[in-house]
């Protein structure tokens, strides 16, 4: 997998690999290579989404803290 890949780029590459595998035109060896690469891209995307989810949770906690201080 390429360094400095964005979520959007990884997602686009993942979609392209899935289309290629679904086409039925790949031999078994090429299919396995695509499958392995797709797994790496999918793992990367999940990590990115988990990171964003954590950031959103942190931001929401800070917002709640501000709201609670204003209510006092």
HEC readout, the chain: CCCCCCHHHHHHHHHHHHHHHHCCCCCHHHHHHHHHHHHHHHHHHHHHHHHHHHHHHHHHHHHHHHHHHHHC
pLDDT in the model for residue 70: 82
Tens digit of pLDDT for each residue in 1-45? 777 899 999 999 999 999 999 999 999 999 999 999 999 999 999
pLDDT in the model for residue 25: 95
pLDDT in the model for residue 31: 96
Would you kindly state where each structural domain of the chain is located, as residue ranges? 7-71
Q: What is the pTM of this model?
A: 0.78
Which fold would CATH assign to domain 7-71?
Helix Hairpins (1.10.287)
pLDDT in the model for residue 3: 78
What value does the mean pLDDT take over residues 37-65?
A: 96
């Amino acid at each position: 997998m390429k360094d400095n890949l964005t979520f959007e780029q990884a997602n686009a590459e993942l979609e392209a690999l899935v289309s290629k595998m679904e086409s039925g035109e790949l031999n078994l060896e090429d299919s396995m290579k695509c499958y392995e690469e797709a797994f790496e891209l999918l793992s990367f995307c999940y990590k990115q989404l988990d990171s964003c989810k954590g950031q959103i949770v942190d931001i929401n906690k800070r917002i709640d803290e501000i709201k609670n201080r204003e209510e006092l």
